[in-house]
Amino acid sequence: MERALEHEKDRRKEERFAAIVIVVILSNIIFMHDSPSEMLPISVVVLELPLLLFLAGRMGVDEVTQIFDRMLGGVRRQINGDKD
């Protein structure tokens, strides 16, 4: 019974995080559709990404942080010229 409750809590946290990400994406599309600069949307995403990652960690959505860690690891390897 306790496992089922924990599973349900995790599922709800993941659903909430997904809803937040969808709202963020839609608001970016709506508010930056007619942006005069191409750098503005990129700047906003760069500022939003750490906040979303922090939120994912707080909400217990580990998959998001793991994916981002893998992406950063690949970028680091490319910058350093390392090979797997």
- Tens digit of pLDDT for each residue in 27-54? 998 988 888 888 888 888 889 988 998 8
Q: How many structural domains does the chain have? A: 1
Q: Which domain holds residue 55?
A: 2-80
State residue 80 phi and psi, 5-degree precision: -80, -15
Average of per-residue pLDDT values in the chain? 85
Residue 75 to residue 19: CA distance in whole angstroms: 28
Rounded Cα distance, 40 and 44, in Å: 6
Residue type, 2: E
Give the pair of three-digit tokens for residue 23. 């709202």
Q: What is the pTM of this model?
A: 0.73
Residue found under tokens 């960690």: 57
Residue 57 has what pLDDT?
86
Q: Quickly tell me which residue has 């893998």 as its tokens.
A: 70
Question: Given a cut of 60, is residue 84 above it in pLDDT?
Answer: no
Helix, coil or strand: residue 83: coil
